[in-house]
Amino acid sequence: MKAIKKVTVLLLLTITSTFAQEVTTSKFGKGLLNITGKDSTFYMNFSARMQYLSATSWSEGDFENRESNFLVRRSRLKFSGFAYNPKLTYKLELGLSNRDISGASAFTSNAPRYILDAYIRWNFYKNFTLQAGQGKLPGNIERVISSGNLALVDRSLLNSKFNIDRDLGIQFRHHFKLSENFIVKEIFAISQGEGRNITKGNLGGHQYTSRIEVLPFGKFKSKGDYKGADLDREQTPKLLVGVVYDVNNNAVKSRSNMGSYLETNEGFYQTDINTLFFDTHFKYRGFSLMAEYANRDADDPIAKNEDNSLTGDVVNIGNSTNIQMGYVTPSNLAITGRYTNVNFDSIVSSNNKITQYTIGLSKYVAKHKLKVQTDLTYEDSVSSSNKLVYRLQFDIHF
């Protein structure tokens, strides 16, 4: 941690010293520094963000005993811009909180996982773009929305159990118009299939992800299709409808490229895992509605040794539904409600059906760049105690 901080500070001091006359500052929320080369062949925006979270949970029928948690949920540094030509852009995002860097293993060289995003994008021809490196796969919309742009304190249970997160590989992106306002976007990704920061592998096959989304009423303001609340108060209805199909060939993890490794006596169990998402996002005059459906299946979800004995590991197959709606007042105070239902196959867990009801309140001081959010969730589980969870979070993004 100390090493990466020193490197970051040294890098910034060196750049600032060398190109002092080219360094500018922006208004709040637009980055700490903007650095442009003397010959305009490169540009860098440097920003930082932090989330501080407090959470308390109670089990139903035992409200005297509670669990409390205070933590820096996210602490990140971001670098973005272009190199040589505005059509060749890049993004580097580093996570410094314990939650961001956890997950060290032999497959990450037993090192903290500092890097979240590290990729370049090349707009090589008209509406065609090629991306290479590590970044979010084109999965469900809730996952692709930045954690700093959410309408509630954090993402839903659907996302935590079914999302396909980040990976290393390449992505092809394209968009076109069917009419003046009707926009179609396509994304296809080929990735390693074992998640971010993997240095040893590839143990299984590769992962193939396709996402198609349509915007029949045109673009959202300020890329609002990938922001949680309607802070721009769209004056005409805006709608996104998307579908994702993901195939992880010979996957070796319990949740496609996420979860734990499926280990056997002889090595690692492999099976094809398929994940399907449907999602939609609607905004109009402060009102927003987001809905998602996820389904995961596998060719043979029960991990076995070579002698056909069971290892005890299984692929987390099942489905989930998530519906979220909210309204932002003219004073930028927002109320949001969410319903989430998760149904795992019985082979996954005895607690295979979970339903959550969440109500949240947010005050946006400088849109998503400075906000306070709080929410209350009631969780109804089939085979474990129901519980109540209260959360309060402060978010700042320079």
* Model pLDDT for residues 292-332, shown as the tens digit of each residue: 999 999 999 999 999 999 999 999 999 999 999 999 999 99
What pLDDT sits at residue 9? Answer: 56
* Model pLDDT for residues 155-174, shown as the tens digit of each residue: 999 999 999 999 999 999 99
Give the residue with greater pLDDT, 127 vs 29: 127
In 3D space, the residue among 189, 248, 188, 183 whose CA is nearest the CA of residue 214 turns out to be 183
Number of C-beta neighbours around residue 123 at 10 A = 15
Which range of residues forms the domain containing residue 165? Answer: 2-397
Number of C-beta neighbours around residue 303 at 10 A = 22
In 3D space, the residue among 46, 10, 11 whose CA is nearest the CA of residue 26 turns out to be 46
Q: Which amino acid type is present at position 220?
A: F
Rounded to whole angstroms, how far apart are CA atoms 288 and 280? 11
Q: Is 141 helix (H, G, I), strand (E, B) or coil?
A: helix
What pLDDT sits at residue 11? Answer: 56
- Looking at the chain, the whole-number percentage of residues with pLDDT higher than 90 is 86
What pLDDT sits at residue 384? Answer: 77
What pLDDT sits at residue 200? Answer: 84
What pLDDT sits at residue 25? Answer: 82
Residue 162 phi/psi, 5° resolution? -125, -10
- Return the CATH number at 228: 2.40.160.10
In 3D space, the residue among 294, 389, 383 whose CA is nearest the CA of residue 346 turns out to be 383
Rounded to whole angstroms, how far apart are CA atoms 122 and 129? 5
Helix (H) or strand (E) holding 333: strand 333-344
In 3D space, the residue among 155, 171, 288 whose CA is nearest the CA of residue 232 turns out to be 288
What pLDDT sits at residue 349? Answer: 82
Q: Cβ neighbours of residue 96 under 8 Å, at least 6 residues apart?
A: 1, 4, 5, 75, 76, 77, 114
The tally of domains found in the chain comes to 1
Q: Cβ neighbours of residue 52 under 8 Å, at least 6 residues apart?
A: 71, 72, 73, 393, 394
Strands 62-83 and 85-95: antiparallel
Once rounded to an integer, what is the mean pLDDT over residues 35-42? 90
* Model pLDDT for residues 223-243, shown as the tens digit of each residue: 999 999 999 999 999 999 999
Residue 198 in this model has a pLDDT that exceeds 60: yes
Residue 45 in this model has a pLDDT that exceeds 60: yes
Residue 19 in this model has a pLDDT that exceeds 60: no
Q: Is 221 helix (H, G, I), strand (E, B) or coil?
A: helix
What pLDDT sits at residue 344? Answer: 95
Number of C-beta neighbours around residue 56 at 10 A = 14
What pLDDT sits at residue 325? Answer: 98
**Strands, E assignment, 178-286:** 183-191, 207-215, 238-251, 253-255, 258-261, 271-284
Question: If you average pLDDT over every residue of the chain, what do you get?
Answer: 93
pTM assigned to the model:
0.92
